[in-house]
Amino acid sequence: MLRETGVPASSAAGGDRGVARGHPRNARHKGPAMNSKTKRPFDPKAFLAKADGGRTISKYRLNQIVFSQGEPANSVLYIQAGKVKVTVVSEQGKEAVVAILGPDEFCGEGCLAGQPRRIATATAMTECEIMRLEKRAIVRVLHDEPAFSEMFVSHLLARTIRVEADLVDQLFNSSEKRLARALLLLANFGKDGKPEPIIAKISQDTLADMIGTTRSRVSQFMNKFRQMGFIKYNGHLEVHSSLLSVVLHDQPEIRR
């Protein structure tokens, strides 16, 4: 039968092997051709380090305003280096410190929720390097890059948890415990297991605004903490992990 069709027997017997070696469809499985066209993974850190496409980087000196309460909210700020104080002033002129932010943190994200104007003022507490992301630029990357969205959502969740903890602190704890907690947070206690020196100069007035008490009370507690060895002044404020005992002592039980 094979001779009648004109196909050599040797070709028929080895035909499967010939197809396996040279059939065009096998070319689709070659790794190098596909890998050369593969899109490089998105790196949020690299994106936030380069000024381009609605992203600008600026340096701020000590006490310089980053943005002011009441001005148009049209961008999100990402702190690359330094510390920023976020404050709110009431109609009666009373000022409250609502947050102290550091490297790798965002601020001004309220514009993404339709906030037309800034509800707070951000001020550099040290020399700072900050990236400003225009609203349209950050909205675009949030939609296009899941890795950035995950990073940004993690930031928002951490901020929400911090705000809830601050509220519980204000409602249930004494001003002495609130001050101890504020100092530990400023020293980044818990991030790497060991408090670090507070590089930014934090005045007692600022501490009083943060915890909702008077400067004289803050001075009294600071002297007490120093005498007990919880903090140390040596050109800068150094917070020891032993200060945590003040926060944990008689911690209120929160019913769930």
Q: pLDDT tens, position by position, for the chain (256 residues)?
A: 444 444 444 444 444 444 444 455 554 544 444 454 566 788 998 999 999 889 999 999 999 999 999 999 999 999 999 999 999 999 898 888 999 999 999 999 999 999 999 999 999 999 999 999 999 999 999 999 999 999 999 999 999 999 999 999 989 999 999 999 999 888 877 665 555 666 567 888 989 999 989 999 999 999 999 999 999 876 678 888 889 888 887 544 444 4
227 domain-assigned: yes
Total domain count for the chain? 2
Write the single-letter amino acid at 112. L
Task: Answer whether 117's CB lies under 8 Å from 70's CB.
Answer: yes
26 domain-assigned: no
CATH code for position 223:
1.10.10.10
Whether residues 177 and 162 share a domain: the answer is no
Whether residues 133 and 148 share a domain: the answer is yes
Q: Which of 145, 169, 193 is the last residue of a domain?
A: 169
**What pLDDT is attached to residue 89?**
93
Reduce the DSSP state of residue 75 to 3 states and report it.
Answer: strand
Whether residues 56 and 138 share a domain: the answer is yes
Whether residues 63 and 77 share a domain: the answer is yes
**What pLDDT is attached to residue 130?**
98
Q: Which of 140, 169, 198 is the last residue of a domain?
A: 169
Write the single-letter amino acid at 138. I
2 domain-assigned: no
User: Cα(82)–Cα(74) distance, rounded to whole angstroms?
Assistant: 22
Whether residues 48 and 155 share a domain: the answer is yes
Whether residues 178 and 160 share a domain: the answer is no
76 domain-assigned: yes
39 domain-assigned: no
Q: Which of 113, 145, 169 is the last residue of a domain?
A: 169
Domain range spanning residue 121?
Answer: 44-169
178 domain-assigned: yes
**What pLDDT is attached to residue 146?**
95
Task: Answer whether 110's CB lies under 8 Å from 98's CB.
Answer: no
Whether residues 67 and 95 share a domain: the answer is yes
Whether residues 180 and 126 share a domain: the answer is no
Whether residues 55 and 158 share a domain: the answer is yes
**What pLDDT is attached to residue 31?**
46
